[in-house]
Amino acid sequence: MKIFLQLNTIFLSMLMEAIPFVLVGVIASGFIQIFVTERWIARVMPKNRLLSTILGCFIGVLFPACECGIVPVTRRLLNKGVPLNAGIAFMLTGPIVNPIVLFSTYIAFGNDWKMVGIRAGMAFAVAFLVSLILSYIYPQAPLRITREQLIGQQLTQVEEQAVKRPHFLKQCNQLLTHATEEFFSVGKFLILGAFIASSIQTFVPTAALLHLGSNPLTSSLVMIGLAFTMSLCSEADAFIASSFRSTFSLGSISAFLVFGPMIDIKNTMMLLSAFRTKFVILLIALVTVFTLVGSLIVGRLLG
C-alpha cells in the first residue's frame, strides 16, 4: 500500500507542476494558429541558405509551438515557399526554444538558468546541423502530397482570397476552441508520461537506475529512448526530466530534453503523414546521432 501511495504522490506532483505551463502553451499556440499567417513568415525568410537556417532556428523564440502541432505548420510553410532547411530548423527548435518551454525548464530545475542555456544551445546546434545536411541531400521538400491534396490546397487559396477575414470575436472563439482541443490532446500524453516516469522511480530499483546512469553513453541512450516512448509535451517534459536528476547525468538529461520535443512517437506518425518515409528515417537518424554526441559533450564539459 505504501508503494502505491508513493507512486500517487510523485505522479500528482508532476502533473500539478506541469499543467499551468501546458495551459499557457496551448493558448499561445492557439493565438499563433489564428492570428499569424504562414505567408508572413515566408515573406521575411532570406534566400541565403545559412541565414535562412539560422532564422528558422530563431523563429521558435517568437512563435511558441508545441511539437504536437508543429508538423502541420511546417508543411504549410514549405508549401508556401519556405526553404526546406529553414522549415526543418523551425520544426526542430520551435517546441524547445520558445519562451514558455524555456521558462518551464527554469522552474522545473529549481530556478537554474544553466539547464535552460544547455537545452537551448544544444537544440540550436542539433537543428542547425540536421537541417543543413538535409537541405543538401534534398533540394526540394520531400512532401507526401497526393493529387487530391494539391487540388484541395489550390481551392483553399482561392477561398482565402474570396472570403473576408473573420470577425475578431469569431477569431477569439476559434482561438479558445483550438486551445481546448490541443489541451486535451496534449493532456493524455502528459498523464501517460508522468505515470511512466513515476512508475520507473517507484518500481525500478535505484541501484539499477544508478548503474544505467553511471555510463555516459548508455545513460544518454536510455534517456533518448524514454523521451521517444513517453511522447511528452515540451511544455511539461522538463518536470519529468528533473525527477531523474538524482540517477542520471546532466548530459543524458539534456538528451532527454532535446530529443523528445524533436522526435517522439506521436511526432513520428505525423512526420510520416507529411513527408516521404526515407526522409523521415534519415531525419530521425541525424537527430539521434547529433543529440547523442551533444549530450556526451555536455556531460564531459559541464557534468
Q: What are 21-40's pLDDT values in tens digits? A: 667 767 766 776 677 666 67
Which burial class, exposed, middle or buried, applies to 212 when counting CB atoms under 10 A from its CB (0-12, 13-18, 19+)? middle
Output the pLDDT for position 162.
Answer: 43
Which residue has better confidence, 119 or 63?
119
Range of the domain at 164: 2-302
What average pLDDT score do residues 132-152 get? 74
Output the pLDDT for position 147.
Answer: 41
> Which of 6-20, 38-52, 131-145, 150-164 is least confident?
150-164
Output the pLDDT for position 293.
Answer: 96
The 10s digit of each residue's pLDDT in 253-270 is: 999 999 999 998 777 877
Domains identified in the chain, total number:
1
Output the pLDDT for position 122.
Answer: 96
Question: Which amino acid is residue 296, in one-letter code?
Answer: L
Whether the predicted pLDDT of 129 surpasses 80? yes
The 10s digit of each residue's pLDDT in 93-124 is: 988 998 888 999 999 898 889 999 999 999 99
Question: Which amino acid is residue 147, in one-letter code?
Answer: R
Tell me the pLDDT of the chain averaged across its residues.
Answer: 80
Whether the predicted pLDDT of 92 surpasses 90? yes
Question: Which amino acid is residue 182, in one-letter code?
Answer: E
Buried b or exposed e, range 168-183, using 16+ CB within 10 angstroms: eeeeeeebeebbeebb
What average pLDDT score do residues 206-228 get? 79
Pick from 45, 34, 94: nearest CA to 66? 94
Which burial class, exposed, middle or buried, applies to 160 when counting CB atoms under 10 A from its CB (0-12, 13-18, 19+)? exposed
What average pLDDT score do residues 227-237 get? 80
